[in-house]
Amino acid sequence: MTSSHWLVPTGSGLLLRVLHRALVSPPSLALLVAFATLMGSSVTWPFGLGALALEMSWLYLRCRSPDFVRAVTDEMLRENWQAQVARAEELRAILDTDTATTLTYIIEAQERLAKLEGMNSLVAPSRTEAASLMAHCLHLAEKRHQLQSYLNDARPAELRRELVALEAQAQRTSDPEARRLFRKALAHKTEELQSYRAVEDTVARIDGQLAAVRCAFAALVGKIVRLRAADTTESGTTDQAVAEDLSRLSANVQALEESLNETLALRRDR
113 neighbors 225 (Cβ within 8 angstroms): no
Rounded distance between C-alpha atoms, residue 158 and residue 65, angstroms: 64
Work out whether the CA dihedral 54, 35, 73, 6 comes out positive or negative. negative
Long-range contacts of 81-89 (CB under 8 A, 24+ apart): 81/110, 81/114, 81/131, 81/134, 83/1, 83/5, 83/6, 84/6, 84/131, 84/134, 84/135, 84/138, 87/1, 87/138, 88/138
| CB of 39 closer than 8 Å to CB of 45 | yes
Phi and psi based region of residue 41 (left: phi greater than 0; alpha: psi -120 to 50; beta: remaining): beta
Reading the chain (270 residues) residue by residue, the pLDDT tens digits are: 444 444 445 567 788 888 888 888 899 999 989 999 988 888 898 898 999 999 999 988 888 888 888 888 888 888 887 888 888 888 888 888 889 998 888 888 877 877 765 544 444 456 667 777 888 888 889 889 988 888 888 787 888 888 899 889 989 988 989 999 999 999 998 888 888 888 888 899 899 888 888 888 788 777 777 766 766 555 555 566 666 777 777 777 777 777 776 666 655 555
CA–chain centroid gap for 170, Å, is 50
Q: Return all residues near 74 (Cβ < 8 A) that are at least 6 apart.
A: 127
- Domain-wise residue ranges, the chain: 1-94, 97-270
Q: How many CA atoms lie within 13 A of 74 on its CB side?
A: 12
pTM of the model: 0.66
- Residue 231 confidence (pLDDT): 60
Per-residue confidence (pLDDT) for residue 4, from 0 to 100: 41
